[in-house]
Amino acid sequence: MVDILLINPPIALSQWESKLGSKLSPMGLLSLASYVREKNISVKIIDAYNTGVDVRTVLGQIKVDSPVYVGITATTNMIYSAAQMAKEIKKSFPDIITIIGGSHVTALPEDTIEQFPHFDVGIYGEGEKTLFDLIVRDKIDENIDGIVFRNNGKITKTAVRDYIKNLDDLPFPAYDLLPNFPGFYRPSPNNYSRLPIAPVISSRGCPYSCSFCAQSVFGRHLRACSIDYLISLLEYMQNRYGIKEVCFFDDIFLLNKKKLYEFIEKKEKSNLDISWSCEGRADRNEERLFRDMRKAGCWQISFGLESGSQKILDYFNKKMSVDKIWQTLNSVNKANIKSRAYFIIGSPPETVQTLEDTRKLALKAPLNEILISFFTPLPGSVAYNDIFASTKIKDFSKIDTFLINYIPPNLNEEILVGFMNRVYKSFYLHPKRLIRYFFMLFNYHKTIHLINALLAFIKLTFGKRLPE
C-alpha cells in the first residue's frame, strides 16, 4: 500500500508525432515525489506518457498498490487524457481521491474542476507544499492554500500559496522511482552527445513576459538553486546513475552571467565528467562566455527565436532584436557550440513577408536544428486572454502547437502548412545534414531512435496538420 500514486497520463496516438523520438523524465512528478517522500509519505510513479502503458495496466497497478490518493499531471493538450484516466480510476476505485495538477489547472483552476467531474481536487501553482498539506491534513477544505475543489455544489478556490523561496531546500528529484531510469529516457537523437543522459532544472520562474507563454505555475520571479547544490546534484547523478550528460531545462539558464561563471569554475574543479546542453535567450553577443561554456562541456544551446521578423518579436514582447539574434548565433557558432532554434508561426500580425523573414533566418543563420510550431494561445498566456477574451473554450483536445488552432487575418491554413513543410524540407534535406544523419546510423545508441524520429518527422512534415 502507498499513500499516493503519481501518474503521467498516456499520450494519444494522434499526439505521438510531436515527440519526435524523445522520452524525457517527468521532472515535475519527480520533484513532488521526492518532497513528500522525505516527509515519510510513501509514493510511486507511473510514467504512462513515455512507457506507453494503457489504462488497464494503470488500474492493475492501482489494485496492487492501493493508494489513498492518485495525482495526475496535465498540460492543456493532455487534460482530456488525464480526465479519462481519472474517470476510469473513479469507476473502479470510487474511494480514491483524484488530484489534478500541472499547467492547465493552474491556468484555469475553477473551469477545470467544473468541466471534469472526476477530479476531486486540483492543485494550482507550485505543488510540493500543497500536496504534502493535502495528504497530511487528510481533508479537503479552505485551510489548504493552493487548491480548488467542489464545496457543497460550488467551486472553491483557496488562497494562493507562496512560492518556495530557497530551492536548495528541495531534495534531489526521485529518479529512482522510474524503474527504467536512466537507460530508457533520452531526448531525440540530435539532442544528446553522450549516454546516459538526464534532465535537470536548476531554477524556477522567468522575469520576461512573452505573450505566448503560460507562466502560471512558477511565476515571473526567478529563483535558482545555489551552484554548490547544483554541483552536488550532478555528482550524485554521476555516482548513482553513471550519468554522462545533462540537459538544463531552465527557461533562461544564461541569464545570470555571474552564476554561470561560478558553475563553470566549480564544475572544472570537481571530478565531474559530464557534458551538457541548455536553453537560453538569443540576446547575448559574448563569444568569450560561449567559449568558456564550451570548455566546461556545453555542446548545444536551444534558443526560442520565434521569428525572423521584428514585427512578430515585438508582438510576442520578446524584448529582443533580430540583429541581436544574428550576433548571438554567430558568437555561439564561433565558440563551436551547436545552436537549436524554436520558431512560432501564425500569430495575429503574421503575413507572407514576416514568414519570409523567418525563412531567411532559419535557413541562413548558423543553426544545427530547428523546430517550428504553430501559434497556440495557451491558457494562462496573454495571447489566450486577448484572443479568447469573450469566448470560453470548452474543447481543449485540439490545443496543440503542432496543430493549427488560430488563423491570422492575412493568411490561411494552406499558406501556414506549406511554409512549415517547405522550410523543414529545405533545412533537413540539405546535403550536409543528410550526411550527418547518415553517419548517425552507425551509432548503435542512436539508430533506432533516429528511425523513430525520422518517421515522426515525415508524418509531421508531409501529413495533415489541421485539426479534424
Distance (Å, rounded) from C-alpha 183 to C-alpha 297?
Answer: 21
Closest among 272, 268, 275 to 245, alpha carbons compared: 275
Secondary structure element (H or E) that encloses residue 224, with its range: strand 223-224
Predicted local confidence at residue 402, as pLDDT: 82
Q: Are 222 and 201 in contact (CB under 8 A)?
A: no
Predicted local confidence at residue 261, as pLDDT: 97
Residue at grid coordinates 507562496: 162
Sheet with 69-73: strands ordered across:
43-47, 4-8, 69-73, 97-101, 121-123, 147-151, 154-157
The residue type at 51: T
Burial of 217 (0-12, 13-18, 19+ CB in 10 A): buried
* CATH superfamily for domain 186-462: tm_1862 like domain (3.80.30.20)
Distance (Å, rounded) from C-alpha 306 to C-alpha 210?
Answer: 11
Q: Are 325 and 356 in contact (CB under 8 A)?
A: no
Q: Are 359 and 419 in contact (CB under 8 A)?
A: yes
Distance (Å, rounded) from C-alpha 363 to C-alpha 357?
Answer: 10
What does pLDDT average to in each consecutive run of 10 residues of the chain (468 residues)?
Answer: 96 53 90 98 96 93 97 95 97 98 96 97 97 95 96 95 96 96 88 94 93 80 95 98 96 91 97 96 93 98 98 97 97 97 97 98 96 92 81 70 88 96 93 72 60 61 51
Which triple of cell numbers denotes residue 148?
480548488
Q: Which residues of 176-204 are buried (b: 16+ CB within 10 A; e: fewer)?
A: ebbeebbeebbbbbbbbebbbbbbbbbbb
The residue type at 1: M
Closest among 87, 59, 85 to 73, alpha carbons compared: 85
The residue type at 313: L
Predicted local confidence at residue 158, as pLDDT: 98
Predicted local confidence at residue 466, as pLDDT: 46
Predicted local confidence at residue 443, as pLDDT: 62
Residue at grid coordinates 469507476: 91
Predicted local confidence at residue 146, as pLDDT: 97
Predicted local confidence at residue 444, as pLDDT: 56
Closest among 446, 454, 449 to 194, alpha carbons compared: 446
Q: Do β-strands 298-306 and 338-345 pair in parallel, antiparallel, or remain unpaired?
A: parallel
Q: What is the DSSP letter of 155?
A: E
CB atoms within 10 A of CB 308: 24
Contacts of residues 233-236 at CB distance under 8 Å and 24 or more positions apart, as own/partner, are: 233/172, 233/200, 234/200, 234/267, 234/270, 234/272, 234/274, 235/270, 235/271, 235/272, 236/172
The residue type at 116: F
Predicted local confidence at residue 61, as pLDDT: 96
Q: What is the DSSP letter of 176?
A: G
Distance (Å, rounded) from C-alpha 350 to C-alpha 179?
Answer: 45
Closest among 240, 232, 233 to 176, alpha carbons compared: 240
Closest among 79, 136, 71, 130 to 103, alpha carbons compared: 79
Fold of 4-157: Rossmann fold (3.40.50)
Burial of 209 (0-12, 13-18, 19+ CB in 10 A): middle
Q: Are 9 and 445 in contact (CB under 8 A)?
A: no
Predicted local confidence at residue 33, as pLDDT: 98
Question: How many degrees, rounded to 5, is the angle at CA 413 between CA 411 and CA 416?
Answer: 70
Q: What is the pTM of this model?
A: 0.92
Q: Delimit the CATH 3.80.30.20 region(s) of the chain.
A: 186-462
Which triple of cell numbers denotes residue 49?
506518457
Q: Delimit the CATH 3.40.50.280 region(s) of the chain.
A: 4-157
R_g of the chain, CA atoms, integer Å? 22
78 Cβ contact list (under 8 Å, min separation 6): 9, 11, 49, 102, 104
Peptide bond into 196 cis (omega under 30): yes
